[in-house]
Amino acid sequence: MGERRYSETHEWVAVDGSVATVGITDFAQSQLGDVVFLELPRKGQRLAAGEAFGVIESVKAASDLYAPLAGTVVEVNERLAANPELVNTDPLGEGWLIKVEAEGGLPDSLLDEAAYLKLAESGTGH
Amino acid sequence: MVDFAGWEMPQQYTSVREEHAAVRGAAGLFDVSHMGRVAFAGGAAAELLQELVTNDVGSLAPGHAQYNLLCNEQGGILDDLVVYRLPDGSWSAVVNASNREPDVAWMQAHAGAGAEVLDRSAETALLALQGPRAEAVLAVVAPAADLSALPYFGVTEAELAGAQGVGISRTGYTGEDGFELFVPADRVAGVWDAILEAGAGQGVLPAGLAARDVCRLEAGLRLYGNDMDERTNPYQAGLGWTVKLDKGEFIGRAALAGFRAAGPDRVLVGIRCGERVIPRHGARVRLAGEQIGEVTSGTHSFFLGAGIGMASVAAGRAPVGAQVEIEGRGAGGLAEVVKLPFYRGSVKSAVTGAAKQAG
């Protein structure tokens, strides 16, 4: 898988061939607290970069999820329906959200890890 | 850590889910030192309290505590608090953190000769050990205290983990049996560690404000600032049982007598949501499309596996069993009006809702 890139709205994306895996960052899950459920798109749904594609609801609050890239959803992490806490315990691994068949490359606005960590440290909430 | 009324407080130590499970299944240890501790001194202390609060403190024997409201002349709720009569007969109270300064100023302004109101918040720390194993765990660190003989809302004093003169009350804000501990501030770190060490093999965990909020909501306990405020009278908050109109004169009595005679125009009800809906503070509540009120508190109940909340709705419009709509994300969701509390735990009380340490 390629190097992870990050959005300013705290999603991550990692590209493997033409398929991109999308999740939320460790900083985002720590800010949200315990995730209670997620509303995720269906397979086949097309996403535009920057568009809201779902909702993550934690004990504290509900937050929109934004697509870090354009493409078509090819897989949804079904385990999250019964185990939403995977987003908290392993946000970069088993707590991934969706896989997307990418259209075009990754937007230039995405950040590399160093730039994202700097943003997170400055305390911008999800 | 979050800023809470100027205090740095942990929302969670591990996860809300785990901490909640510890409170319900074993015990959770909360640091609630942000709450205000107020002492009442002087020969007229009891008279002052009787004038300030709605419940009848005249019935309080030494070694007992009582849930209370502080109201203004208009009958609006300034705060909810627990009044303690310590074993030596002296008086104190625990008030909400965000109301501490205005409460103390209000109390001092009403104190005549012979009574003094002292803010003692900085001298002690306040811990809460809550859960079905609280007594067994506390007994290990406070062997001198006769905890099994301490009744619900009872107050005693004992040596605890080497700290002298720790106040122990059988009170809490979780719906479980448990204790609140008034520890000299310079000894609290040792007491905290000793309790966690004693409870380590029994599933006791430190628990934060987020777990406390879930527990108190499941237990149907009100939170000041969410479920009631200065524009709410006790009858609207379902706390009319704390108002003793026949105890003699007190602040707000005339207004409260009027509210009682007229009956409340709005009431606080429990709501249980359908799948994947969590009611949030301020969300509109509708009945057949017509707005009848607002959600005052809401969360996800780990016990029920559903969104739960309390809502202030027009009286008579939403009886238990009524189906209402809760405004939320997208179309919102359906909810059923239910009886409070959502959860009955190990708490010793027979009185619903009396298990209230000021939130």
For residue A86, list chain B residues with Cβ-Cβ distance below 8 A.
Answer: none
Claim to verify: residue B11 and residue B136 sit in the same structural domain: yes
Which pLDDT belongs to residue B331?
57
**Interface contact flag, A88 B15, Cβ < 8 Å:** yes
**pLDDT for position A26:** 95
Whether residues B152 and B9 fall in one domain: yes
Task: Name beta bridge partners: B79.
Answer: B70
Residue B58 lies in a domain: yes
Residue B125, domain member (yes or no) = yes
- Inside any domain, residue B347: no
Q: Does A81 touch chain B (CB under 8 A)?
A: no
Among B165, B79, B179, residue whose Cα is nearest residue B124: B165
Same domain, B189 and B279: no
How many angstroms separate the Cα of A65 from the Cα of each of A12, A54, A56? 11, 5, 7
The answer to whether B355 faces chain A, any CB pair under 8 Å, is no
Enter the ipTM: 0.75
Which amino acid does the sequence have at B246? D
Residues 6+ apart with CB under 8 A from A52: A64, A65, A66, A67
DSSP B98: G
Beta bridge partner(s), residue B2: B9
Q: Do B35 and B151 reside in the same domain of the chain?
A: yes
CB contacts of B276 in chain A (<8 Å) are 37, 39, 57
Give the Cβ contact number of residue B346 at 10 Å.
Answer: 18
CA dist A41 and B303 (Å) reads 28
- Show the domain range for B84: 2-218
What's the pTM value of the predicted model, to 2 decimals?
0.90
Pair (B158, B296) in one structural domain: no
What pLDDT is stored for residue B354 in this prediction?
A: 42
CB contact under 8 A, B276 and A39: yes
Contacts of B210 in chain A (CB under 8 A): 33-34, 59-60
Contacts of A62 in chain B (CB under 8 A): 278, 280, 328-329
User: How far does B15 lie from chain A, in Å, by closest CA?
Assistant: 6
Computed over its alpha carbons, how large is the radius of gyration of chain B?
20
User: pLDDT band for position B8 (50/70/90)?
Assistant: confident
Cα B155 off chain centre by = 16
Is B66 at the interface with chain A, CB within 8 A? Answer: no
For residues B158 and B102, membership in a common domain is answered with yes
Helices B188-199 and B134-141 sit at what angle, rounded to 10 degrees? 120
Domain membership flag for residue B71? yes
Nearest to A34 among B17, B276, B280 (CB): B17
User: What's the mean pLDDT in B152-167?
Assistant: 96
B132 pLDDT exceeds 70? yes
Which string of DSSP letters, residue by residue, matches A36-96?
A: EEEE-PPTT-EE-TT-EEEEEEESS-EEEEE-SS-EEEEEE-THHHH-TTHHHH-TTTTT-
Q: CB-CB: which of A33, A61, A62 is closest to B16?
A: A33
Count chain A–chain B contacts defined by CB atoms under 8 A.
Answer: 35
- What are the structural domains, with CATH classification, of chain A? 5-107 (2.40.50.100)
Q: Is the pLDDT of residue A107 over 50?
A: yes
Q: Are B85 and B68 in contact (CB under 8 A)?
A: no
Interface contact flag, B12 A33, Cβ < 8 Å:
yes
Handedness of CA B355, A33, A80, A71 (dihedral sign): positive
Same-domain check for residues B185 and B60? yes
State residue B1's pLDDT score. 53
Long-range contacts from B160-164, C-beta under 8 angstroms, 24+ separation: B160/B191, B160/B194, B161/B187, B161/B190, B161/B191, B161/B194, B161/B195, B162/B187, B162/B190, B162/B194, B163/B187, B163/B188, B163/B190, B163/B191
Amino acid at the residue A38: L
One domain for residues B178 and B88: yes
Confidence of residue B276 (pLDDT cuts 50, 70, 90): confident
The answer to whether residue B105 is domain-embedded is: yes
Asked whether the predicted pLDDT for residue A125 surpasses 60, the reply is no
- How many domains would you assign to chain B? 2
pLDDT value at residue B352: 36
Predicted pLDDT of residue B330:
59
Which chain B residues contact residue A37 at CB under 8 A?
276
**Helix-strand-coil percent breakdown of chain A, rounded to 5?**
20, 35, 45
C-alpha separations of B57 from B39, B51, B213, B293, B358 in Å: 15, 10, 28, 34, 16
Both B172 and B46 in one domain: the answer is yes
- Asked if the structure places residue B258 within a domain, the reply is no
Claim to verify: residue B214 and residue B83 sit in the same structural domain: yes
Q: What's B50's domain CATH number?
A: 3.30.1360.120
- Judge if B93 and B206 occupy the same domain: yes
pLDDT, chain A, mean: 92
Instruction: State the CATH number of the domain containing residue B323.
Output: 2.40.30.110
Separation CA B204–CA B25 (nearest Å): 9
Which of B17, B210, B280 is nearest residue A85 as measured by Cβ atoms?
B17
**Residue B79 three-state SS:** strand
Q: Which of B214, B276, B329 sits opposite A59 (nearest CB)?
A: B214
| Chain B residues whose beta carbon lies within 8 Å of the beta carbon of residue A57 | 276, 278, 300, 329
> With 80 as the cut, is the pLDDT of residue A56 above it?
yes
